[in-house]
Amino acid sequence: MRTYDVIIIGGGPAGIFAAGFAAQQGQNVLLIDKNRRCGAKVLITGKGRCNVTHAEEDPRRFVEAFGRNGKAFLTALYAFGVRDLVSFFEERGLPLREERGGRIFPAEGDAASVQKVLEGFLQETGVELLTSCRVEKFTFDNGEISSVLTPKGEFSATAYVVATGGLSYPETGCTGDGYTWAEQSGHHLIPPEPALVPLVLDVDWTAEVNNFNLKNVQVQVVQQGKVLAERFGEAFFTREGIGGPIILDLSAVVRDALKQGVVSLSLDLKPALDSETFDRRLQREFAENANRNFANSLDGLLPKALIPIFLRLSTIDPQKKCHSISREERLQLLGLFKNLELPVSGVGGYKKAIVTSGGVSLKDIDMRSMRSKKIANLYFAGEMIDLDGPTGGFNLQVCWSTGYLAGISAAKRE
């Protein structure tokens, strides 16, 4: 049986940071990962571009994005924050740049460039890698982990970091093993659920405008006439429904609301104009196109791809002359622009989830060190813990910061 100072299980962003920074403390570190290469999930984040973090540098404002659990993240974020993360990559030859919405991406290159830097970090710090290897079980002695068993042998260490990720993107090896180990060792698990997912709609036309971008739109989540949440920004239709940044950010609200009853979205395609102003615009368009058929009058109001959909949904005769359109028909059309109702039938599953909500309860983790309150030589990092935020780089920063803190703490046995 080979012995190390620290063993890290999971080669994603959190695990790589935990391993590298523990090794920087002079520790003999082993990183075990299921995949052939570390950083598999990095390659598919941000549509392959890797949104490494968010530009908000004030930790107290940054954690507001995480709701009630946000304050628990403060120590890790102060230990390794946004500025530290930017410096980490730029010092290793990968400049970053801020884009729309405060998202920070590689200035040149893509997610593969990020993975290359991470692999270089492991080499630079002397971390020993054991890839294509699954941890089968832990052994315990006197209430602490004494070793891990794998098909490639048994390995022991003074401290262990579990950073195996959640259940999202199972093709990258995220199968929830860490959750099972945590429960078996007495930790309370907040039930995992897919988060930041597209929505499935109970309409039959979205596949016709599949992946058509809706820019600068407003979406509200509505249940029993009450608006539960709203977002402004970008969305797009999918074969089964609707996705995009603002939809992903609303998906947790929708998921929870569906447990209580019927939910729908209200889509405002013209949020910059109130209904009265946009109605005047419609009247103007119809006056200018008085002798044209209704079917040929929407070019100045809608993208070409959406016109056939609106013709059907409006129920106005496509051959009807614009000057003959009644006030009632016009107001019905106005409703499609300003309040297009989209009944929701479900949320996407783990295959389409960017992150997993839930995980090891924060009450069972000393968030000042990421050490388990149940097992003295066990630390958690990344998506394993019950901490998830919106799109825009927030969740990857959780991985970087908690991975750093877990690695440092495991090295010092704090």
- Convert the pLDDT of each residue in 235-248 to its tens digit: 999 999 999 999 99
| Structural contact between residues 135 and 149, judged by C-beta atoms closer than 8 angstroms | yes
Interatomic CA distance for residues 64 and 375, integer angstroms: 30
Topology of domain 198-348 in CATH is Helicase, Ruva Protein; domain 3 (1.10.8)
DSSP element (H, E) containing 263: strand 263-268
DSSP element (H, E) containing 380: strand 378-380
Mean pLDDT of 309-335: 96
| Structural contact between residues 25 and 6, judged by C-beta atoms closer than 8 angstroms | no
Interatomic CA distance for residues 222 and 263, integer angstroms: 6
* Angle at the Cα of 372 from the Cα atoms of 71 and 9, rounded to 5 degrees: 105
Task: Specify the range with the lowest mean pLDDT, choosing from 173-187, 191-205, 321-335.
Answer: 173-187
Rg (CA), the chain: 25
What is the residue extent of each domain of the chain?
A: 2-194+355-412, 198-348
Distance of alpha carbon 215 from its chain centroid, rounded? 20
| Structural contact between residues 264 and 343, judged by C-beta atoms closer than 8 angstroms | yes
pLDDT in the model for residue 172 = 57
pLDDT level of residue 40 (50, 70, 90 thresholds): confident
Is residue 394 pLDDT above 80, yes or no? yes
Taking all residues of the chain, what is their mean pLDDT, rounded to a whole number?
Answer: 94
Q: What is the DSSP letter of 206?
A: G
Mean pLDDT of 167-188: 80
CA-based nearest residue to 269, from 213, 328, 330, 325: 213
* Angle at the Cα of 403 from the Cα atoms of 165 and 367, rounded to 5 degrees: 95
- Asked, colleague to colleague, whether 2-194+355-412 and 198-348 share their fold, the answer is no
Q: What is the DSSP letter of 48?
A: G
pLDDT in the model for residue 10 = 95
Task: Report the share of the chain in percent with pLDDT over 70.
Answer: 98
Rounded to whole angstroms, what are the CA distances from 338 to 33, 95, 198, 214, 398? 49, 42, 22, 14, 37
pLDDT in the model for residue 14 = 97
Interatomic CA distance for residues 55 and 394, integer angstroms: 9
Mean pLDDT of 170-183: 77
pLDDT in the model for residue 171 = 58
Topology of domain 2-194+355-412 in CATH is FAD/NAD(P)-binding domain (3.50.50)
| 102 torsion bin: left (phi>0), alpha (psi -120 to 50), beta (else) | left
Mean pLDDT of 85-100: 96
- Convert the pLDDT of each residue in 9-23 to its tens digit: 999 999 999 999 999
Name residue 268's beta-bridge partners: 218
Mean pLDDT of 95-119: 94
The 10 Å CB-count burial string (b at 16+, else e) for 93-123 is ebebeeeeeebbbbeebebebbbbbbbebbe
Place of tokens 């991406």: 105
Reduced to 3 states (helix: H, G, I; strand: E, B; else coil), residue 279 is helix
Beta-carbon contacts of 116 under 8 Å, excluding residues fewer than 6 positions away, are none
Mean pLDDT of 15-41: 95
Interatomic CA distance for residues 197 and 410, integer angstroms: 33
pLDDT in the model for residue 148 = 97
pLDDT level of residue 26 (50, 70, 90 thresholds): very high
pLDDT in the model for residue 170 = 59
